[in-house]
Amino acid sequence: MEDNSEKPKGISRRKFLGAAGAAGAAAATAGFAWPLLKNESTYSASSNESLGYNFRGKHQAGVTAPRMPAGLVAGLDVRVDDKRELEQLFVRLSESIELLMSGARYEDRSGGFPPADTGLNDRADGYVPPWVVLSVGDSLFDSRFGLASLKPRELQPMPKFNNDYMVKPATSHGDLSVAIGGVTHESVIHGFRQLMRSVRGSVIPKWTRSGFNSIRPDIKPGIAPGRNLMGFKDGTANPDPQSDSSMNEIVWVQPNDLQPEWALGGTYLAVRVIRMMVEFWDRTRLNEQEELIGRSRDSGAPLGMKKETDEPRFTSFESHIARANPRTSGSEENLMLRNGFNYADGLDGNDQMDQGLVFLSYQRSLEKGFITVQRRLDGEALEEYIRPLGGGFFFVLPGPGQGSDPLGASLLA
Amino acid sequence: MKSFNGPKVGGLLVALTLVFAACGSDDSSSSGSGSSTGISASELVQETDNALIEDAVDGYRAYIGEQIAAMQAETAIFADAIRAGDAEAAAAAYPISRRPWERIEPIAGLIEDIDGAVDAREDDFDGPMDPTFTGWHKLEYFLWEAGDLSEAGPFADQLEADLQTFADALPGLELPPGVLTVGAQELIEEVAAPDGKLSGEEDRYSGTDLYDFKANVEGAEALIELLTPALESADHDLLDAIEASFDELNNQLAQFGSFADGYVHYDEVTEDQRSELAAALGELAESLSMLNGTLGLE
């Protein structure tokens, strides 16, 4: 249900510009003004061009997309019988994702059929196509499809870390994962529903989490785009996803990484659903909160510094930010690109709020990236206030290239 | 690897949108509807010029007649056992007596108040002993939960009387073609509904949900069989997909028993097995949702 006043359009090949200078970039894209970035209250769809993401390319565009106001991640199990059916599944998923990300219209059907879309994708309602990132999990490389020898070298089930006693199998892992980000929650829900209906019966959704981000209007690298639900700025030190050199250094698997060749252009994804004990947190002294995190709550400045952008100089390595990124010689190889979201999912069985962070990090090496960072975080004082609940490790498939290949073509070739 | 330049979204696997609009949820529907199933005839086109569909409608009218006859006969056995205070015989007859009802459940919405009278759950009332809570599930409650049939007799009488009302309404019943297409889908949506069989909510005291489940599937299969001539010319691929989905679902159900040998208590169906059933149901429902449009109905 795109804007019916416009003719169906071809798929936009324009790359959606990302977080760096995103205000201008987003506005420049096809004449579209993103109210959240432009700090404008009106939506303008003056362009004749279809706004969307380029599905085609060396990498999946969603990995380096700007932080989005709405997000969803899901673990999925496949229930196809052999490699040929798995290929067909990837074709269907890819068709569905390309159509979704392109912003192109869904087919018109007569009223005797169910509509081909959810109805949540009307441009007049402020719909902007979401991005989707498709990843594969460790279990896809078991004996079912003969892919064991092709498993990315570091792909493994997420181990139990120090504070992981509430992590449950039912909310962890999956043969596949999809992450979706969008300007509105409806756009993300539209995306997930379209995706699942395109593969119904062949894929079982195992777990999902969805959530939100507030995004400040003057977003730029070096300052956090928003806050986590502990009320602290989150993402200050995130690398710039628009810097190809940074992304090649930190995110994308490179030819000398000793990975299977098909994996070039992909990246490792770590997903962690981390509940925060928000009632407890809200009762915690501000001094304690700031020492646990290592930043001033309000300004985001590292403790002892003045501004958020000041480089921390750690005298101890107890705080969360010091453990996560000690800024020591060599620790730059543990950098990763984070692009998660906050979540709030009602109450638990004890009338306490189930709120927290859906942490997503992309890294060229799982060992050097998330695993090393988490090992440093293991035992941190902040653990008293957080409980990981689930997630998993996945490998983000390389982009589908410029031809007509689906996602996963290099893996299943 | 298959080319990626195939038709966009055209395939039969991309249809969803559960047709809740076709449920008996308008103002004329019964209060205390047990399962929110049934089709509102006003929603569906009344005519078709496709003779194959007309034949199917005639065939379905006959099928409904057979099922109602079976329902009355099997329910008489159940009601007699209740009135006689024979709990063992009543428990055995309970799931059997429900099968014909479950096979033709979508047409319940065409007859006012019948679903709420015979197939409501206690959730729609002030608890299970609310005197306005009637039907199979009331008797199920007496049998499995209360363990006392001393007050159950009048409810057995009432069930038989309500089913007689249902049977009496049949000859005058309008059967628009959409009852067949949407009905087949409805039967499967009914299984998958959060208060349906898949969740174990339907037969919560007895755990006999798999009987209802199988009967819903049989009812949908009967409809597809009747529509097969029309579907063969309209979209053979869709027919093939539907039949393959039925095969898979029936294979899964067979691991839990059969009508002849009995089905296991629904509690014995594990989370993983329910997940597999849900996937098979979902795939089938996607295909069935394309039936109506494929056959040129509005």
**In this structure, how many other beta carbons lie within 10 angstroms of the beta carbon of residue B10?**
12
Using the predicted structure, report yes or no on whether residue A43 has a pLDDT greater than 50. no
Residue of B nearest to A406 (CA): B4
Residue of A nearest to B277 (CA): A201
Q: What is the mean pLDDT of residues A300-311?
A: 93
Nearest-by-Cβ selection for A405 from B4, B15, B45: B4
Higher pLDDT residue, A174 or A219?
A174
Contact yes or no for B293 and A110 at CB 8 A:
yes
Residue of A nearest to B185 (CA): A114
Nearest-by-Cβ selection for B297 from A91, A112, A114: A112
Contact A182, A194 (CB under 8 A): no
| In-domain check, residue A228 | yes
Residue of B nearest to A206 (CA): B275
pLDDT of residue A139: 98
**Distance of alpha carbon A336 from alpha carbon A365, whole angstroms:** 9
Q: What is the mean pLDDT of residues A209-216?
A: 93
Q: Which among A55, A86, A197, A262 is the top mutation candidate for probing chain B, defined by the most B β-carbons within 10 Å of its own β-carbon?
A: A197
Least confident of A171-175, A234-238, A352-356: A234-238
Residues of B with CB under 8 A from a CB of A: 1-6, 8-11, 13-17, 19, 45, 245, 275-276, 278-280, 282-286, 289-290, 292-294, 296-298
| In-domain check, residue A144 | yes
Q: Would an 8 Å CB–CB cutoff place A81 in contact with chain B?
A: no
Q: Would an 8 Å CB–CB cutoff place A60 in contact with chain B?
A: no
Q: What is the mean pLDDT of residues A293-302?
A: 96
Least confident of A121-135, A279-293, B12-26, B107-121: B12-26
At B75, which helix (H) or strand (E)?
Answer: helix B51-83
| In-domain check, residue A272 | yes
A219: pLDDT confidence band, cut at 50, 70 and 90?
confident
Contact A239, A250 (CB under 8 A): yes
pLDDT of residue B272: 93
Using the predicted structure, report yes or no on whether residue A323 has a pLDDT greater than 80. yes
Higher pLDDT residue, A51 or B274?
B274
A16: pLDDT confidence band, cut at 50, 70 and 90?
very low
Nearest-by-Cβ selection for B16 from A94, A114, A405: A114
Average of per-residue pLDDT values in chain A: 88
Nearest-by-Cβ selection for B8 from A99, A114, A409: A99
| In-domain check, residue A155 | yes
| In-domain check, residue A29 | no
Number of independent structural domains in chain A: 1
pLDDT of residue B100: 97
Residue of B nearest to A11 (CA): B8
Residues of chain B where predicted confidence (pLDDT) is lower than 50: 1-36
Nearest-by-Cβ selection for A193 from B16, B280, B285: B16
pLDDT of residue B112: 78
pLDDT of residue A50: 53
ipTM for the whole complex: 0.84
B81: its two tokens: 């056992």
pLDDT of residue A316: 82
Contact yes or no for A99 and B279 at CB 8 A:
no
Contact yes or no for A106 and B5 at CB 8 A:
no
Sign of the CA dihedral running A53, A57, A60, A64: negative
Contact A201, A81 (CB under 8 A): no
pLDDT of residue B1: 39
| In-domain check, residue A31 | no
Contact A135, A396 (CB under 8 A): yes
Contact A21, A220 (CB under 8 A): yes
Read off the pLDDT of residues A331-372 as tens digits, 9 standing for 90 and up: 889 999 999 999 999 999 999 999 999 999 999 999 999 999
Contact yes or no for B1 and A99 at CB 8 A:
no
Contact yes or no for A201 and B276 at CB 8 A:
no
Query: How many Å from the N-terminal Cα to the C-terminal Cα in chain A?
Result: 36
Higher pLDDT residue, A251 or B25?
A251
* Domain carrying residue A140: 45-411
Distance from CA of B195 to the nearest CA of A (A): 20
Read off the pLDDT of residues A19-39 as tens digits, 9 standing for 90 and up: 223 333 333 333 333 333 333
A315: pLDDT confidence band, cut at 50, 70 and 90?
confident
| In-domain check, residue A27 | no
Least confident of A34-43, A60-69, A277-286: A34-43
| In-domain check, residue A161 | yes
Higher pLDDT residue, A8 or A327?
A327
